[in-house]
């Protein structure tokens, strides 16, 4: 009898209690006058800690394998310059190992340029994310081994620009091969292509570079061998990177040794 009375009293008290309603975040902020956590609003999200603009953490657009991509990777500022023969040899080893990965038929690095604190690449393939992830991890691990250090190598996510037209591909090729001139690595117009790039493997120069196809030695203007090429050339698989850009003419070596960026009007 007592148990029945307790249950009845509990039910009466519960029936008299006000029914709670969940307010939206905007309503809570308006009623209390205090800011709330969460929700879409201006200025939300993690703030950038670097003075240099970083790549936003947004979902990347779906990639069309028929379009090459110009990729930029920036190293951390405390690292030494990447423009050394030892690091170039390591990069060649990474490119060779990339051709043994499961995604080798769906991704490849066709051209590259190594600068002091960043790397430019022109890549193609359907497995863009997997291929770049493999390259980024392999390069970072081997670089840490060379420098005898631990920790992060790259300062940010990779930045990619889709090259959807023949003109865009040609402009990207000139930009990548001439990047050392843009950053002041050499005097403008010294007549030599960048040895820390894949320009030595590029067959789109007119006139062609003096390279011995049997020994893979690159010769300077005096006939002296400069560098032995260890990595095999990457044959473009897309029409844009293999044929399409040539519609606008072959690239003269002076375009990459005397490169001057266009001035904005």
Partners of residue 122 on adjacent β-strands = 70, 111
Q: How far apart, in whole angstroms, are the C-alpha atoms of residue 67 and residue 165?
A: 8
Domain containing residue 139? 69-257
Q: What is the DSSP string of 183-215?
A: TTSS-TT-S---TTBGGGG---BSSPP-B-TTT
61 contact partners, CB below 8 Å, separation of at least 6:
162
Q: For the domain that residue 248 is a member of, what is the CATH number?
A: 3.30.70.1290
Give domain status of residue 6, yes or no. Answer: no
Torsion angle in degrees (nearest 10) through CA of 173, 176, 179, 180 = -110
Give domain status of residue 185, yes or no. Answer: yes
Total domain count, the chain: 1
Predicted structure pTM score: 0.72
Phi and psi dihedrals of 139, rounded to 5? -65, -45
Cα atoms in the 13 Å half-sphere on the side-chain side of 187? 3
Distances in Å between the Cα of 151 and the Cα atoms of 73, 93, 145, 247 are 16, 21, 11, 45
Per-residue pLDDT of the chain (265 residues; tens, 9 = 90+): 667 777 677 777 766 666 666 656 555 566 665 665 666 667 666 665 555 556 666 666 788 899 999 999 999 999 999 998 889 889 989 999 999 999 999 999 999 999 999 999 999 999 999 999 999 999 999 999 999 999 999 999 999 999 999 999 999 999 999 887 776 655 434 456 787 888 888 889 887 765 545 444 555 455 555 555 667 778 999 999 999 999 999 998 878 766 555 544 3
């Amino acid at each position: 009898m007592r148990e029945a009375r307790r249950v009845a009293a509990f039910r009466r008290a519960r029936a008299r209690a006000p029914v709670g309603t969940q307010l939206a975040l905007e309503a809570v902020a308006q009623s209390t006058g205090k800011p709330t956590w969460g929700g879409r609003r201006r200025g939300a999200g993690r703030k950038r800690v670097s003075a240099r603009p970083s790549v936003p953490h947004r979902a990347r657009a779906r990639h069309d394998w028929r379009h090459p991509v110009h990729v930029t990777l920036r190293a951390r500022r405390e690292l030494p310059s990447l423009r050394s023969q030892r690091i170039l040899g390591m990069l060649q080893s990474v490119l060779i190992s990339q051709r043994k990965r499961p995604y080798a038929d769906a991704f490849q690095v066709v051209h590259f340029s190594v600068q002091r604190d960043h790397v430019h690449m022109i890549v193609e393939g359907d497995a863009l994310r997997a291929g770049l992830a493999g390259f980024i991890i392999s390069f970072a691990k081997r670089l840490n081994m060379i420098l005898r250090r631990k920790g992060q190598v790259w300062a940010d996510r990779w930045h990619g620009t889709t090259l959807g037209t023949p003109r865009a591909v040609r402009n990207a090729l000139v930009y990548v091969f001439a990047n050392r001139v843009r950053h002041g690595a050499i005097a403008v117009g010294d007549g030599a292509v960048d040895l820390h790039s894949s320009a030595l493997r590029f067959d789109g120069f007119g006139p062609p570079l003096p390279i011995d196809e049997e020994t893979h030695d690159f010769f300077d203007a005096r006939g002296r061998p400069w560098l032995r090429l260890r990595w095999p050339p990457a044959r473009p698989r897309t029409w844009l990177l293999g044929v399409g850009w040539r519609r606008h003419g072959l690239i003269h070596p002076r375009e990459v040794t005397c490169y001057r960026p266009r001035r904005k009007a």
